[in-house]
Amino acid sequence: MDSLLIASNNKAKTKEIKRILGKFYKNILTPAEIGLNIEVDETGTSFEENAVLKAKAFSDASGMDAIADDSGLVVDALGGAPGIYSARFSREGTDEANNRLLLEKLKGVPEHERKARYIACVAIVFKDGKILTTEGKSEGRILESPIGENGFGYDPLFYDENFKKSYAQLTPEQKDSISHRGKALRLLADKLEKIIK
Ligand code: ITT
């Protein structure tokens, strides 16, 4: 297929999407690369609704196939928060402030009650209006202090029991192999493969 527009300005996400879907499209472009600047209000009540909202807005504005991811962190001890509000958990909304607030809220919570998962919903809206969505989850637990330099968002606090490392200590390829977004994108790749054949 020809060109795919990524409906996101999150650099870490766009890199992950390019790595995994690169073989399906000749060009995978970001909004900046085509000079498109739109803000989409994430007014949905689920990851899926928000992913479709974002992909549709970018597809409509560009006339291209567009892919969006809506994702977040679900913490059991916080009743599922921050969930779909993960990017805007703290007032500042920066990764640093979000991580600080998460640690504050989990102060005194013992290790076995710090279970959490990342969830990602990925949606492609094709230029003919058809929609494909997939979802991926990855399980982990929230550390008591940040460690690692890679990744983004809550990665320095999100610990994987198999690698025995935080997501921020994983290489990009290791993260892709187990992450919520990696899983959702591979499921999407399977669906795309069937469409192309
Ligand atoms: P776009 O809407 O432009 O795609 P965004 O960062 O605002 O970018 P979301 O609305 O989907 O994206 O919010 C996702 C938030 O969830 C993100 O900002 C992180 O705080 C967290 N998150 C999602 N996936 C993550 C990952 O792989 N590693 C760390 N944090 C992640």
| pTM, full prediction | 0.95
Atom 2, ligand 1: which residue's CA is nearest? 8
Type of residue found at 104: E
Q: Using the atom order of ligand 1, give the atom closest to the CA of residue 51.
A: 11
Average of per-residue pLDDT across 65-90: 97
Instruction: Kindly state the percentage of the chain with pLDDT values over 70.
Output: 99
Mutate to test the pocket of ligand 1, among 11, 84, 86 (most ligand atoms within 8 A of CB): 86
- Tokens linked to 109: 């919570």
* pLDDT tens profile 151-161: 999 999 999 99
Atom 30, ligand 1: which residue's CA is nearest? 153
Indicate the angle between helix axes 11-21 and 180-196, nearest 10 degrees. 40
State the distance from the centre of ligand 1 to the C-alpha of 113, rounded, in angstroms.
23
Distance of CA 170 to the CA centre of its chain: 16
The residue annotated as part of the active site, out of 65, 69, 70, 176, is 70
Q: Determine the pLDDT at residue 97.
A: 98
| Dihedral over Cα of 191, 36, 53, 102: its sign | positive
State the distance from the centre of ligand 1 to the C-alpha of 195, rounded, in angstroms.
28
Average of per-residue pLDDT across 7-31: 90
Q: Determine the pLDDT at residue 197.
A: 60
CB 187 within 8 A of CB 134: yes
Q: Would you place residue 2 in the very low, low, confident or very high pLDDT band (cuts 50, 70, 90)?
A: confident
State the distance from the centre of ligand 1 to the C-alpha of 73, rounded, in angstroms.
9
Helix (H) or strand (E) holding 131: strand 131-142
Q: 132-165 b/e with 16+ CB inside 10 Å = b?
A: bbbbbebebbbbeebebebbebbbbbbbbeeeeb
Q: Would you place residue 1 in the very low, low, confident or very high pLDDT band (cuts 50, 70, 90)?
A: confident
Q: What is the mean pLDDT of the chain?
A: 95
CB 49 within 8 A of CB 57: no
pLDDT at 12 over 90: no
**pLDDT higher for 192 or 123?**
123
Q: Is 70 a catalytic residue?
A: yes
Instruction: Kindly state the percentage of the chain with pLDDT values over 90.
Output: 89
CB 140 within 8 A of CB 167: yes
| 104 Cβ contact list (under 8 Å, min separation 6) | none
- φ, ψ dihedrals at 75, nearest 5°: -110, 120
Q: Is the peptide bond before 82 cis (omega within 30 degrees of 0)?
A: yes
